[in-house]
């Protein structure tokens, strides 16, 4: 267990939250791009800018016409506290690496949303004292990067914590109020009947606080799904849940509903191909859904070797594809036709030398490196006998081919 520690007193947090609009204006004045249409933020696929062998955002934009990226993930510090970090380790306040990625995207006419939470890790809703102090922490992210959009990814283990979800939903409402025009999405786990018990409790919390985001999105994967038909069925069921929870009619529920898929092989061995994405895209557009996104651009490329040994990777899809095939479905959702000509390919970097081969008997601590399966890997924490790449949520970060 990590110690829980409040970052701000309630009075200080309210002061910061109330200053949100002024802060956002200042952030925009410092160089943020003009906002894109909400449809682009709704179509933005997830990109880890500091982990999982980050691809070139500029190359993806050139190849597909994509304009918006969902950068992941902002978490509480690994050591506890109520200040925003990237992945629990890199303070947002001192960040330059992610800012550089954002600058590159904006220089090409694009923009970003930032996703907070995700699977695993410690979330700010768990460590901040209340909704106001949670909102104050997120306001730092909005202000620093001049954001026009933000995503609350509420899942394991946070969404099982009633107080944490109350803080997150309350923070989302404060940010929505203090940053006029801010596009807010809320993403949670999907099940075959729409979403599970904890997802339904999260919706009830939103209802009790009078909070309505641009959309509530479910992730119909890692739960016994089998292709697009099972996913569209889950979206239909989730629409009924939204209707019954908020008293919306079907059309209003679809206008506040989103899909967040996983391209290629999921963590539980499900496979979602380009054809599956097209089917779900057709469903989303024909029902006037608000959002269509996926996890992740880091995985939107073919593995080497192509079958990748039948494992799920954070850096490739484990299905046959051309690079950025899945990103093109996001572009289509935004209402743009992807380029048909093949752009000049970005030169492939010369592979680095392989580190010492991984050993099942060796003990590795944070930042230790080893090679396995033709890639170099870096340990995120203490580990022994955990195969690199066995799960994208495991103890190893893929540093790319060697």
Q: List active site positions.
A: 155
Distance (Å, whole) CA 118 – CA 133: 20
Distances in Å between the Cα of 246 and the Cα atoms of 193, 200, 208, 353, 368 are: 17, 11, 10, 56, 49
**Alpha carbon 267 to chain centroid distance?**
16
DSSP 328: H
Distance (Å, whole) CA 116 – CA 145: 14
**What tokens were used for 295?**
């996890």
Q: Of 92, 105, 124, 125, nearest to 44 (Cα)? A: 105
> Which stretches within 160-307 are classed as H helix?
162-178, 197-209, 227-246, 250-255, 274-286
Distance (Å, whole) CA 335 – CA 337: 7
**Alpha carbon 203 to chain centroid distance?**
19
């Amino acid at each position: 267990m990590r110690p829980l520690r409040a970052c701000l007193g309630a009075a200080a947090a309210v002061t910061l939250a109330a200053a949100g609009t002024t802060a956002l204006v200042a952030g925009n004045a410092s160089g943020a791009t003009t906002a894109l249409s909400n449809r682009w933020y709704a179509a933005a696929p997830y990109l880890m800018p500091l982990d999982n062998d980050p691809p070139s955002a500029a190359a993806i934009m050139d190849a597909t016409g994509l304009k918006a990226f969902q950068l992941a993930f902002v978490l509480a510090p690994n050591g506890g506290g109520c200040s925003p970090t990237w992945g629990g380790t890199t303070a947002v306040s001192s960040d330059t690496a992610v800012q550089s990625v954002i600058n590159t995207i904006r220089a090409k006419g694009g923009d970003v949303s930032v996703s907070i939470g995700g699977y695993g890790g410690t979330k700010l809703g768990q460590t901040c004292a209340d909704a106001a102090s949670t909102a104050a922490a997120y306001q730092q992210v909005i202000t620093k990067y001049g954001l026009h959009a933000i995503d609350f990814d509420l899942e394991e283990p946070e969404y099982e914590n009633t107080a944490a979800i109350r803080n997150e939903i309350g923070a989302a409402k404060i940010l929505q109020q203090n940053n006029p025009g801010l596009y807010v999405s809320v993403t949670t786990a999907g099940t075959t009947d729409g979403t599970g018990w904890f997802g339904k409790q999260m919706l009830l919390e939103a209802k009790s606080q009078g909070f309505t985001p641009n959309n509530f999105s479910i992730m119909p994967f890692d739960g016994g799904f089998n292709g697009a038909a099972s996913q569209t069925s889950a979206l239909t069921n989730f629409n009924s849940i939204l209707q019954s929870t908020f008293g919306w009619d079907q059309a209003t529920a679809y206008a506040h509903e989103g899909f967040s898929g996983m391209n290629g092989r999921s963590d539980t061995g499900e496979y979602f191909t380009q054809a599956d994405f097209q089917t779900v895209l057709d469903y989303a557009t024909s029902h006037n859904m608000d959002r269509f996104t996926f996890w992740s651009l880091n995985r939107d490329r073919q593995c080497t070797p192509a079958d990748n040994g039948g494992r799920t990777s954070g850096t490739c899809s484990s299905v046959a594809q051309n690079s950025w095939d899945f990103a093109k479905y996001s572009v289509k959702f935004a209402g743009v036709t992807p380029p048909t000509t093949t752009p000049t390919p970005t030169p492939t970097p010369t592979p680095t030398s392989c580190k010492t081969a991984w050993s099942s008997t060796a003990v590795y601590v944070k930042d230790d490196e080893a090679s396995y399966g033709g890639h170099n890997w870096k340990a995120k924490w203490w580990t022994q006998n955990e195969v690199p790449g066995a799960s994208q949520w495991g103890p190893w970060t893929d540093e790319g081919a060697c």
